[in-house]
Structure 1
């Protein structure tokens, strides 16, 4: 059986190592392996792990998301060789890491997926400083947008009203993530470790569709608006949230998608206009499939995985979220509408 992997991310000073020790302390019967990644030549965090029985590997020669690569793959291979010595793996990234880069081998490489399953990405957020970080740093945005669960930390240091405002902001930035609250005296460890990624509910591996990229210019409206094009009728609802220059666009469609066209269009979008797009994630209904499809961007690549079956009486509503900088909803609306099945237009 593959070993479960938890990816722990969060900006500098958010409290990742403190949370890590809380997880290790709260689950003394679980044998953990740990990969500590630090930016710089001196490794410190590995020495701060409180449980001496934890199998710790320290990588201090660069940020994993930037040098992803042989270093991480070699460590995973070595851990697989001694897989009988541990039950679960935790990776603590640097405070400036983009977690999507670290997640790539777990989602894309069959040789890694046979031995390890990425169960959750936890992002630790400092309640005192998150607004400044969102305004000033792309890394904080990338960490929040890629996570499955956001733990708002140091909640004992801010007012309840401000805390409620922060929760709304984080939910708007990443509608697919669960937002939990905690501080160093009271972390919700059990709840954190119960949360799993959407694709964890299925045994089907994430797969790339072997489809040729389209040369269509359907993504042009993202930069230019929707000149000379009109929406024939309201086909969906979307929610537009802005935090400074960060934009979160949420779309809901009752009409099914042409999955091949949608995949090609979003792949083309990421290739040519993806610099300001931090995250794409969607739950897609396709008339030819009984199950929902999980569509998401991993770095500059799109992946597809099979999710749970739609229930007989369940409305097959697709949801797609884009998170990025200065995104224009009209262009995304046009692109998505063009990918609906012809029978529904």
Structure 2
């Protein structure tokens, strides 16, 4: 049985270790393995963990999402050999880590997938500093974009009106995540632990790769013209930034193979500006829904739960990035509709310029 994994991320100084101790203390009967990653040569965070029974591995002088990626694989291999000694693995990243890259082995390496499943990605943000960090740093944006739950920390230091606006901003950056609030004396631990990532997102390797361009049963069809409807823009602006969240909803069937190729090409040429792609896809030629998402600059595609008779069969896609061209995305997706000349698509487009 794969062990649950929680990835705890957040920019420098957001309070990750304090929250980690609160999470550990809330679950006294649960056994934890912990991977602590620090950027400098001297690791001290491990000494700040209050529970003496936690199995701690420290990785210093590098970042798990880049220079220490091979070290993480070695640690995961070692932990998989002693799975009976813990119930859950927690990875606390450096303040400048990209959690999407840390998630890659859990979503792309079969041996790691057999031993571990990402249960949630928690992103901690500093209520006082996050707006400046979003304006000035790519890392903060990436951390928020990949999270399943965003916890605004140090809320006792800001006004209720500002906190309400900040919650809206963060939800607009990542409409897929739940946004919670708290501080060191009042963390919403139960609500945090209630957030669980869809299993389909983390249990399966991408079924399509550049060397395997066709899914069984895929059709070679002419590219249909894009269809559009009225846009419903809702804006929250921040100076010096052009971060945008764009979401689409299609009731018309998408061709999964064509969509995969279009999104792969998009990441190839614009990956540095795309922080997140995630969606649930309806392809009428397949019995199950499909989960598509970007992990770093790699696209993963896995089958999800089968469609039931009473389900509304539709596709939902969310893009988070800088300078996204809504019309270009809409045209690209319009080229991915399944061939069905009698169908009239009902497409809902929602664009949110965020900062």
| Same-fold call, TM cutoff 0.5 | yes
**TM-score w.r.t. length of structure 1:** 0.90
Partner of 1:4: 4
- RMSD of aligned Cα (Å): 2.1
Cα distance in 1 between the residues matched to 2:37 and 2:287: 41
Instruction: Answer yes or no: is the 8 Å Cα contact 1:238–1:250 preserved in 2.
Output: no
Cα distance in 2 between the residues matched to 1:49 and 1:303: 35
Partner of 1:248: 245
Q: Is 1:275 matched with 2:272?
A: yes
Partner of 2:33: 33
Query: By how many angstroms is 1:70 displaced?
Result: 2.0
**TM-score w.r.t. length of structure 2:** 0.88
Partner of 1:234: 228
Q: Select between 160-169 and 301-310 the one with higher mean Cα deviation.
A: 301-310
Instruction: Count residues in correspondence.
Output: 329
Partner of 1:207: 206
Query: By how many angstroms is 1:202 displaced?
Result: 8.1
Query: By how many angstroms is 1:196 displaced?
Result: 1.2
Partner of 2:92: 92
Partner of 2:122: 122
Partner of 1:81: 81
Q: Is 1:284 matched with 2:267?
A: no
Q: Secondary structure at the match of 2:51?
A: coil
Cα distance in 2 between the residues matched to 1:237 and 1:231: 18
Instruction: Answer yes or no: is the 8 Å Cα contact 2:107–2:205 preserved in 1.
Output: yes
Cα distance in 2 between the residues matched to 1:154 and 1:203: 31
Cα distance in 1 between the residues matched to 2:197 and 2:53: 28
Partner of 1:324: 321
Residues 217-232 of structure 1 correspond to what in structure 2 (within 5 A)?
A: none
Partner of 2:220: none
Tell me the alpha carbon deviations over residues 60-93 of structure 1, each in whole angstroms, 9 at most, x when there is no partner: 0200101253200111111111111111000000
Partner of 2:53: 53
Q: Secondary structure at the match of 1:275?
A: helix
Gaps of 5+ in 1: 215-229
Instruction: Answer yes or no: is the 8 Å Cα contact 2:264–2:299 preserved in 1.
Output: yes
Cα distance in 1 between the residues matched to 2:144 and 2:276: 10
Name the CA shift for 1:118/1:202 in 2 (closer, same or farther; >3 Å): closer
Tell me the alpha carbon deviations over residues 85-114 of structure 1, each in whole angstroms, 9 at most, x when there is no partner: 111000000000000110000000000000
Name the CA shift for 1:209/1:239 in 2 (closer, same or farther; >3 Å): farther
Instruction: Answer yes or no: is the 8 Å Cα contact 1:213–1:264 preserved in 2.
Output: no
